[in-house]
Amino acid sequence: MKDKIILFIFICFSYSGLSQNLELKGKIINSKSGKPIEFANIGVVNSFVGAATDFNGEFSFEIYNKMLKNQVKISAIGYKPKIFTVNELIENKSIIIKLEPTTYDISEVNIEKESKLAYGILKVAANNISNNYLDYPYGYNCYLYSKYKNISNEYINESIVLLTDSCGYVNRSFLNAFDARNYIIKQSNPNKPPITFEQGLSVMDKLINLDVVRVIGNVLNTSVINDFSISIKDNIIFDGDSSWVISYKCKNPNMSNAGDPNLSSYNGEIIINKNNYAVLKNSIQAQREGVFIHGNSFVSNSKDKISYNAEVCYKKYKNNKYRLYTIDYLEKNHSNKSECKTFLNVLNVTHKAIDNLTSERFYKTNLKSRQYFNNTNYDKDFWNSFSLDKYIKEPIH
């Protein structure tokens, strides 16, 4: 019979009548060996409140007083998770939780041991998103290039797009990522009028949902991280910083772990800064049936065979905060022999009611809708004077 593993959790908390918050602070250890369990995950179910233990097995995080009846899930690689209510943890203050280990053969144990650090790195990266990225409303002024082609036609368009987020990188739920982010196409430069409805559609929904630190359906969702096979592939210097390269493959892709309900495969590589656990780059390769990919689509054929590659990069902004930098996306429809290549470059960032491209006080950072169809008129004077390098400048505040 497998030995039972007992985790000892010491919970201490403080209550502030002014802030109406509780602090959960403690340590998770293996009672058999007495050693701390690093990268154990503890968090309030169906929320983004929680933490991963550090190398000393310690954790600390605040919860709202209204969460007293909510459930807290504690899990670690190699153990069956347990769930308690916040009240249960607080009332006991010092409790012992018995987690029953899962059963592996020798090869599986070795695999889990080798990948444990990689799982832990991703958990810490996910739990530090609000610390590492813009945690306030912002606007991204973006240059967007897209080229759609099939057997007989080619359609190319350049656009200037304002993407706004009324919350910032603080709530990664599906609903918030949709409600808080909106966009408008401010300038458009097509090589010819769109021939088909599909050519006139904006690809922005697909692109913004590839921003893995803003949306939840990906490898940075700690509640489904065990749905992935994960390993450290390399240690590199990326953009001047010492970084890990972590490869991942989703075992059974679905909406919660891949952001798409009909994927047949989903894998990639993610680069994480060793100093602050910021995500610097994420690359995805995926296959599915139908043309709905990471966003809204008004043109759908459930039988089409689709593959796509995406590469998303992040760049340090100010005050050690990071922001979205580029998205490179290639989608191929193997059924009708068409493909769409798209590149998005965030030119600058604003969090005032200023349009950085025209210096007019016009756009706020909380647009109320999304412009799904590109019907923006061509402005000859603007594009005759436009230079991409001209608008890649220091952030404006």
| 89 and 191 together in one domain | no
Q: Tell me whether residue 396 is in a domain.
A: no
Residue 339 counted as domain residue:
yes
In a domain, 127, yes or no: no
Which strand (E) or helix (H) includes residue 327? strand 322-333
Same domain, 136 and 209: yes
Q: What is the mean pLDDT of residues 362-387?
A: 78
> For residue 70, what are the domain limits?
5-103
Q: According to the model, what pLDDT value does residue 103 have?
A: 54
pTM of the model: 0.70
Residue 217 sits in the same domain as residue 264 = yes
**CA-closest candidate to residue 25, choices 13, 33, 17:** 13
Predicted confidence band at 291 (pLDDT cuts at 50, 70, 90)? low
Angle, vertex CA 175, rays to CA 169 and CA 180, nearest 5:
50
Q: What is the mean pLDDT of residues 124-145?
A: 91
Please state the three-class secondary structure of 291-312 as a single string: CCCCCCCCCCCCCCEEEEEEEE
**Statement to judge: residues 271 and 149 lie in one domain:** yes
> How many domains does the chain contain in total?
2
Pair 83, 207 in one domain: no
Q: Check whether residue 87 and residue 164 sit in a common domain.
A: no
Per the domain annotation, does 219 fall within a domain? yes
Q: Classify residue 73: in a domain, yes or no.
A: yes
By mean pLDDT, which of 20-24, 135-139, 390-394 is the weakest? 390-394
The domain boundary residue, chosen from 61, 83, 103? 103
The Cα 326–Cα 27 span in angstroms is 39
Q: Are 219 and 305 found together in one domain?
A: yes
Q: Are residues 268 and 191 in the same domain?
A: yes
Name which residue leads in pLDDT, 388 or 267.
Answer: 267
Q: Is 63 exposed, middle or buried (0-12, 13-18, 19+ CB in 10 A)?
A: buried
pLDDT digits (tens, 9 = 90+) for 2-21: 444 444 444 443 333 334 57
Report the CATH number at residue 72: 2.60.40
Q: Is residue 180 part of a domain?
A: yes
User: Is residue 347 in a domain?
Assistant: yes
| Gap between the Cα atoms of 306 and 335, Å rounded | 8
CB 289 within 8 A of CB 305: yes
Percent of the chain with pLDDT over 90: 30
Average confidence (pLDDT) over 18-43: 73
**What token pair was written down for 355?**
């349009």
148-206 pLDDT, tens digit per residue, is 888 888 888 999 999 999 889 988 888 888 889 999 999 999 887 766 666 677 889 88
In 65-128 the beta strands, taken as DSSP E runs, fall at 71-75, 82-85, 94-99
Return d(Cα 48, Cα 61) in angstroms, integer.
11
Does the pLDDT of residue 253 top 70, yes or no? yes
Q: Which of residues 88, 103, 118 is at a domain's end?
A: 103
Residues 293 and 212 in one domain: yes
Among 368, 123, 342, 333, which Cα is nearest to 222's? 123
Instruction: Check whether residue 156 and residue 32 sit in a common domain.
Output: no
Residue 119 has pLDDT above 70, yes or no: yes
Is residue 86 over pLDDT 60? yes
Residue 179 pairs in a beta bridge with: none
Q: Tell me the per-residue pLDDT of 230-249, one tens digit each, with 9 for 90 and over.
A: 999 999 999 899 999 999 99
In a domain, 32, yes or no: yes
Q: How confident is the model at residue 356 (pLDDT cuts 50, 70, 90)?
A: very low
| Domain limit, last residue, from 54, 88, 103 | 103
Q: Are residues 194 and 98 in the same domain?
A: no
Residue range 364-381: mean pLDDT, rounded: 80
Other CB atoms within 10 Å distance of the CB of residue 379: 15
**Residue 363: what pLDDT?**
41
Say whether both 146 and 52 belong to one domain: no
